[in-house]
Amino acid sequence: MVRCAKVTGMNIIISPLDAAMLDEAAAMEKICFSVPWSRGMLEQELGDEQSLWLGATDREGRLLGYVGCRCVLDECSIMNITVLPELRRRGIASKLLNCLFERLEDISNVYLEVRESNIPAQRLYWTFGFRPCGKRRSYYQKPDEDAVIMVKRM
Ligand SMILES: CC(C)(COP(=O)(O)OP(=O)(O)OC[C@H]1O[C@@H](n2cnc3c(N)ncnc32)[C@H](O)[C@@H]1OP(=O)(O)O)[C@@H](O)C(=O)NCCC(=O)NCCS
């Protein structure tokens, strides 16, 4: 599956995240998260048959953002989503999520965790119909913080 999409100010391509993008994804993790996933962790996830990861690239093939989920029976968990800081608020994460949801079959609920203080991500999730359904105490480190659990009923 490869999808061309228009976001504010540019054209992007959404396609399955593959091994050739792992170095860029690991570099993006370091920029975007205080506890980044390593290249090895990403590689392991990509190799899991229950996982689905999509990347957004520009015309030159530069990775701009990605999203990953894992599905078990009729439940899906969003594992990660991120966009390069300088390219946020253009609709890239929204395109990634739209493409991801198009690919999900026979899923009843989609879950995710998000830092309590991460208002940009929570707003994004609200626009996609996710609603808070619980909390995980001290789920995150650097800094220690609770996670809000959100669910989208499909
Ligand atoms: C959260 C994140 C992925 C959003 O990516 P993005 O490409 O900027 O998101 P979009 O442009 O598709 O935004 C869609 C909507 O989400 C909401 N939103 C996104 N960023 C927001 C912000 N900084 N403040 C308020 N609302 C925001 C808005 O409703 C926005 O629609 P609008 O721009 O028309 O108002 C991005 O901020 C990011 O990479 N953050 C760091 C990594 C992270 O926290 N990931 C989530 C882990 S749980």
Two structure tokens written together for 36: 């980044």
Residue to mutate (ligand 1; options 100, 123, 125, 136; most atoms within 8 A of CB): 123
Residues lining ligand 1, judged by CB closer than 6 Å?
Answer: 32, 81-83, 88-94, 114, 118, 120-121, 123-124, 127
The neighbouring-strand residues paired with 112 are 150
Q: Closest ligand 1 atom to the C-alpha of 95?
A: 12
Give all strands of the β-sheet with 109-115 in edge-to-edge order: 3-7, 10-16, 51-57, 63-72, 75-83, 109-115, 145-153, 131-140
If you measure from the C-alpha of residue 129 to the centroid of ligand 1, how many angstroms do you get, rounded to a whole number? 14
145 in the same domain as 100: no
Burial of 56 (C-beta count, 10 Å sphere; 0-12/13-18/19+): buried
Burial of 96 (C-beta count, 10 Å sphere; 0-12/13-18/19+): buried
Per-residue model confidence (pLDDT) at position 2: 85
Is the Cβ–Cβ distance between 58 and 64 less than 8 Å?
Answer: yes
82 in the same domain as 26: yes
Per-residue model confidence (pLDDT) at position 3: 86
Query: In the annotation, is 60 catalytic?
Result: no
126 in the same domain as 100: no
Query: Given 24, 29, 45, 113, which residue is catalytic?
Result: 113
pTM beyond cutoff 0.85:
yes
Tens digit of each residue's pLDDT (9 = 90 or more) over 51-95: 999 999 999 999 999 999 999 999 999 999 999 999 999 999 999
Tens digit of each residue's pLDDT (9 = 90 or more) over 1-46: 788 999 999 999 999 999 999 999 999 999 999 999 999 999 999 9
Two structure tokens written together for 84: 């390069």
Tens digit of each residue's pLDDT (9 = 90 or more) over 84-130: 999 999 999 999 999 999 999 999 999 999 999 999 999 999 999 99
100 in the same domain as 24: yes
Per-residue model confidence (pLDDT) at position 102: 95
128 in the same domain as 94: no
Looking at the structure of the chain, the number of domains it has is: 2
Q: Which domain holds residue 146?
A: 108-154
Q: What single string gives the DSSP state of each residue in 58-124?
A: -TT--EEEEEEEEEETTEEEEEEEEE-GGGTTSSHHHHHHHHHHHH--S--EEEEEEETT-HHHHHH
Query: In the annotation, is 24 catalytic?
Result: no
132 in the same domain as 100: no
If you measure from the C-alpha of residue 47 to the centroid of ligand 1, how many angstroms do you get, rounded to a whole number? 27
76 in the same domain as 119: no
61 in the same domain as 1: yes
CA separation for the pair 68, 42 (Å, rounded): 10
116 in the same domain as 103: no
Q: Closest ligand 1 atom to the C-alpha of 33?
A: 42
Q: Closest ligand 1 atom to the C-alpha of 113?
A: 48
* CATH code of the domain containing 59: 3.40.630.30
134 in the same domain as 80: no
125 in the same domain as 76: no
103 in the same domain as 153: no
* CATH code of the domain containing 136: 3.30.70
